[in-house]
Structure 1
Amino acid sequence: MKYIDLHVHSASSDGTLSPRELVLYAKQKNLAAFALTDHDVVDGIEEAVDEGLKQGIEVVPGIELAARYKDREIHILGFFIDYKDPHFLENLAWIQNERKRRNKKMLEKLNSIGFDITIEELKKSAGKDLISRAHFGKVIQEKGYANSVTEAFKLYLSPGKDAYVQREVYTPKECINFIHEAKGLAVLAHPTLYDLTQKELKDLINMLKDEGLDGLEAIYSLFTKEEEYKMRSLANRYNLFITGGSDFHGKNKRQIDMGVGRGNLKVPYELLEEMKKRI
């Protein structure tokens, strides 16, 4: 049986492997395909697709967009997007500018509590890529203010902590529309991670379905078997196809590996074939 991973991040957002390295790693892991779903950027897709053609690995052009739902942030995955669509790129530019505004405020907050961190250090950490909270975490660790990136998030960079700044994002409907306009399929990412009751989650999925949602990420690294069963049931109830992925970030999430998550993740290629029928 062939296996895939439909939730993977590169160094173009907050992962640590380049798009080309991801393809080589996918081949090493004996994956037939993976989706590159970087946060708010598509910069790495062409490199991954090109290397995938050389290595015999199918690369699905994707993205992960943040959206505001009531008092929390949810994530919408896009698959098979036209990553060169001008209007889609304009929408991403707005998101990236908002990230820059947020980064400036987060840096000011860190400096105000005595952290000697500069924008130059953050840019060096990010390289050519957009600065993310993962890069803040890495610099905080390197400067000795935390023992790990995970601890940096826990102490300073998560909601309610000293350096956290909420960013402005699009609505779920806008994200779904952007993905559809770019000829893609829209999927709710890791549905159980939003701290919603079962009723609240059903209400969310019902709303998103009305707004054009195509699928649900029902197989995920952190799901229990019971949670996976519930997500599959919800997908069936709302006539949504299912996807599955590890949410691989390389060294930024060392406990999660590409294709297998925490060791027990298996996403069959048949799911990708079902998705293609919806395009």
Structure 2
Amino acid sequence: MHTLNADLHCHSSVSDGTLSPEDVAARAKANGVQLWALTDHDEVSGQQRARAAAAALQLPYLTGTEVSVTFAGETVHIVGLGFDADDSALTEGLRRTRGGRELRAREMAAGLARVGIQGSYEGALKYVGNPELISRTHFARHLVETGVCRDTQEVFRKYLTEGKPGYVEHRWATLPDAVGWITGAGGIAVVAHPGRYKFSANEEYALFSQFKDLGGRGVEVVTGSHTPHDFVKYAKLAQEFGLLASRGSDFHSPTESHTDLGTLPPLPGELSPVWEALQDRVWR
């Protein structure tokens, strides 16, 4: 089971990816993925399409989402897998979390306008269509398209990180919210890409302790933004906390993502894969 090519973290145009759920499914299948989950940010409206596309390709599927959480002043992502996508507490909670995005985006645009970049809100909206799902990534694509920056990395560096003109903090869901919504809907909550958070050792320990106490059950060990050192570190942490191990590319776009769907190394052998606990939730 460890060698199963599961990709349980990726994005479509329903949030900040560039491909439709159908195209992500096709790419996953073409790349040899054997179990797939689409995990759009704070959104489950693409789940039916993803599931239907996966079924047509005979690709086993788990429902997924990636919930944005504020913890110790940082944005942390909690992936939910194998839940009921129609659960009302989950869908309403995600709707409230998304609701803060439009206001934040307008504040970001105002900040960019103050340094001479006009029309960025409307420009960013062209890439997403839904103001509830607008994110920094959409602003970045607009600023590259209009020649303000060479690539999205440059946009983030100059304009969209803390202390820069277009940065606006957003208060997301709490950790109890996110874990509660996912587990309440029958799913498993997983800490996404922990190697990306700028936590001290104590803060990281607090995150995992609280997560486990709240009923969180998994951690991404092998993911697109992790180094081989991170694979080892979070494999040990999974064992220390008794957590299931997950694996996902965090794929967003063929041109922007470093890691393509289905191309990650397998999970280290001593771990318990999250998908073994979700066998009865897989759509085949």
TM, length-normalised to structure 2: 0.90
Match of 1:275 among 269, 274, 277: 277
SS at match of 1:260: coil
What's the CA shift for 1:226?
A: 2.8
Q: Deviation digits for residues 94-123 of structure 1, max 9, x if unmatched?
A: 112101111111111111111022533322
| Counterpart among 201, 215, 222 of residue 212 in structure 1 | 215
Query: Which residue of the other structure, out of 81, 86, 89, is the alignment partner of 2:88?
Result: 86
Separation in 1, partners of 2:236, 2:120: 48
Long gaps (5+) in structure 1 = none
**Number of residue-to-residue matches in the alignment:** 276
Aligned partner of 2:195 in structure 1 is 192
- Judging changes above 3 Å, is the alpha-carbon distance between structure 1 residues 164 and 232 closer, same or farther for their aligned structure 2 residues? same
1:148 to 147, 151, 165: 151
Q: Verify the 8 A CA contact 2:112 2:120 in the aligned structure 1.
A: no
Of residues 161-170 and 199-208 in structure 1, the stretch that sits farther from structure 2 once superposed is 199-208
Shift of 1:200: 3.1
Q: Which consecutive unaligned segments of at least 5 residues does structure 2 have?
A: none
1:127 corresponds to which of 108, 124, 129:
129
The whole-number CA distance in structure 2 between the counterparts of 1:236 and 1:118 is 45
Report the Cα distance in structure 2 between the residues aligned to 1:258 and 1:173, rounded to whole angstroms.
30
Alpha-carbon spacing, 1:254–1:77, altered in 2? closer, same or farther (3 Å): closer
Query: Does 1:161 find its partner at 2:164?
Result: yes
Residues 52-103 of structure 1, C-alpha deviations (whole Å, 9 max, x = no match): 1110111211111111111211111100121111221111111121011111
Mapped contact 1:134–1:252 kept (Cα < 8 A): no
Closer/same/farther in 2, CA of residues 4 and 277 from structure 1, 3 Å limit: closer
1:136-173 deviation line (CA, Å, top 9, x unaligned): 00111112111111211111112221101011111111
Runs of 4+ in 1 over 6 A off after TM superposition: none
Equivalent residue, structure 2, for 1:226: 229
State the alpha-carbon separation in 1 of the partners of residues 212 and 274 from structure 2: 20
After superposition, the Cα gap between the structure-2 partners of 1:212 and 1:35, relative to the gap in structure 1 and judged at 3 Å, is: same
- Matched with 1:203 is 206
* Other structure's SS at 2:70 match: strand
Moved more, 76-85 or 248-257: 248-257
- Partner residue in 1 for 2:244: 241
**Secondary structure of the structure 2 residue equivalent to 1:15:** coil
The change in CA–CA distance for 1:145 and 1:180 in structure 2 (over 3 A counts) is same
The alignment's C-alpha RMSD in Å is: 2.1
Structure 1 window deviating more from structure 2 (137-146 vs 123-132): it is: 123-132
Q: Which amino acid aligns with 2:170?
A: R
Alignment TM-score, normalising by the size of structure 1: 0.92
